[in-house]
Structure 1
C-alpha cells in the first residue's frame, strides 16, 4: 500500500511535513517559508532550570506541532491529530490511514533513526516525518531533511514513535482531514495574523527567558558561565546551545534565514517595501547566530578558553537580541490592508 506522494526536501522537518502534507491535499501555493511564517515558527526560549542532554533547555522555534496546527487553522483546513498509549493501536490506525491512501505526519525521536548519521542521533523527541506507504514489513518514509525518501522497519518505526523522555511522542500522528481549496485572500490574511502573533511572542511575553528578552538574558548568563560552572561544564552548556542552534532542523541561524524568506514571499500578498527591508535584518541575524555557533564551538572544543571569549560570545547574543527587537518593532508598525 502506497499513497500517491512526492517527496520534497526542506530545510526544517515540521515546515517540510506541513508543506508536503498540504500539497498532497491540493494546497500548492504554501511554500516552506510561508508555512513557517504563517505558523509563527520563529521563537527563542532559555529555561535554565530544565536540563536536556547535560545542558539547559534552549529552543529557537515555537513548540513542536504548532507550525502545522496554526498553518492549517489559518487556512481553514481541518486536521486530525492522535496520540496513543497502545503501540498496537498506533500501528493499526497508521496502517488504516495508509490503506486508504492517506500519508500522515508523525512526531518521532531521532536517537534510533537508523538512516540518520550517528553523530546526529541523540535524545530529541520533536522530529517530524511523513509515512506514505508500506511494503512488506517496511514503512515508506519521507523525512523532509533527507535528500531522498527512505524506509524503516515496523520495529524501527515503533521504537522512534514511542521514544521515551522529554516531549515523548506517544505514537503521535496527524494529517489534514480533507482536500480544501485555499484562496489568495486566505493566505494574505494568514500572513498578517502569523506576523502579528510572532511580534507578540518575540516582544511581549512577560519575564526574562523568552523572545528577544530571552536572547539578551542568555547572553548575560554566558558571561558568567566560565567562573560559575568551570570550563568543562560551561563547554557542555555551549555544546547544547550549538546543538539546538545548528543540528535540530535548521537551528537558530537557519530559522532566521527562513523568516527573512517568508517576509520576501509575504511581499507578493502585501505590497509594502518595508517587508523587504525587514527581511534583510533577519538575514543579518541569521549570520550573527552562525558566527555565535562558531564562537561557541571554539570554546567547548578547547580552542578558546579565556573570560574574554565568553564575554565576546555573550555580547554577540546581546547584539542579536537588539537586531531582532528592532526588526519586530518595525514589523509592528506596518499598516496592514485587508
Structure 2
C-alpha cells in the first residue's frame, strides 16, 4: 500500500483558534517560521467583515476579509498558488503531485460532510459551510490525512468522504475543490518586524474602509446591522433560522465576529513589542471589548431561541448598533498609529 504522509508537518501541528489561520501557522512551522497564530492573522491583514445573503438559503457572515492568504504571501515576498475546479479528480491529481514533492496544501471543505464534525453540526445540518480550511498532509490507498484546528492529532477519512466534502454542489457556499499552496522565503526577518506590522495594519485599514464590494468591510457590517433590524418582519421560521445561523457562524463553527476581534487584539499586543507607539495597546483593548460584545450578541440570540420569542429584542438591536460604532472607532484609532 502506497503511503504519502508529511511526518514533519504532523509533528509541528497543534490546535488553534481558527481553521484558516491555524492551517497557515502549521504550514509556516513546517517551513521553520516560528510565529503565533495571532501574528499570522495580523500580518495577513485578516480582520474584516463579509456579509452575503442568499435567496432561500439564509446568509453567510465572517469577521475576516477574503484575501488573508494572498495578503500574507505578498507581505512575506512569497507566492500563493491556488486553483478551483468543479472536477474533483483533476484537482486531486494536482494535490497528490504537491504532496509527493513534500509540499503541504490548504484545502476547502464542507463541514457537514466531514464525519469527525458530526457532533458539532447536529443542530445546524442545514447551514451551508463550504469554506472550511484544513491542511492536506498525506494519503494512502484507504483514505486521506488532514490536520484540523480543533484536533492536535492527524485525522484520517475515507476517499469517498473526502471527495464529498470537497466537491458538494448543493449549497451556495460550495468548496468547489478549491486549494491553496503557500510558498515563502527561507527566513522571516523577525529581528526587523516593524515594516511587516506597519504594512499589514495599513493593508487591513484600506480593505476594511474601502472594500471592492459593498457587502464587505465596514459597509458590509453596516448592511448586516440594518438587515437584522428587519428580521422582526419575517415569518417566525425565518427569524428562528436567522438567529440559529448567527450562532453557528459567529461562535460554534465559524468565527464571524468575536474570535477574530480577540485574535486581532492579541496581534496588536504582540505588535506593541515592535512598535514604539503607546496607542497600540489602547486599540488592542478596544478589539478585546469588541470580541466580548460579539460573543454577548450570540448569547442574546441563543436566549431568544430558547424562549421562542417572536421578535428581536431591543437589547440585541442596541448591542448591534454599539458593535458598529465600536468597530468604526477602533478603525479610526488605528489610522492614528
Change (3 A) 1:205 1:158: closer
Determine the structure 2 residue equivalent to 1:302.
307
Q: Residue 219 of structure 1 contacts residue 315 of structure 1 at CA under 8 Å; is this kept in 2? A: no
TM-score (norm 2): 0.88
Distance in 2, Cα, partners of 1:148 & 1:210: 35
Q: Residue 222 of structure 1 contacts residue 311 of structure 1 at CA under 8 Å; is this kept in 2? A: no
Q: Residue 49 of structure 2 contacts residue 64 of structure 2 at CA under 8 Å; is this kept in 1? A: yes
Q: How many residues align?
A: 326
Match runs of 1:1-338 below 5 Å: 1-3=4-6, 4-5=8-9, 6-28=12-34, 30-48=35-53, 50-51=54-55, 54-63=57-66, 66-120=67-121, 122-164=127-169, 165-177=171-183, 180-184=186-190, 187-205=193-211, 209-226=215-232, 228-305=233-310, 309-334=312-337
TM-superposition CA deviations, 1:273-296 (whole Å, max 9, x none): 211111011110111111110111
Q: Residue 108 of structure 1 contacts residue 127 of structure 1 at CA under 8 Å; is this kept in 2? A: yes
Change (3 A) 1:218 1:188: same
TM-score (norm 1): 0.88
Change (3 A) 1:181 1:43: same
Using the TM superposition, give the Cα deviation of residue 315 of structure 1 relative to its aligned residue in structure 2, in angstroms.
Answer: 0.9
Change (3 A) 1:207 1:318: farther
Structure 2 unaligned blocks of 5 or more: none
Change (3 A) 1:93 1:283: same
Structure 1 unaligned blocks of 5 or more: none
Distance in 1, Cα, partners of 2:86 & 2:225: 41
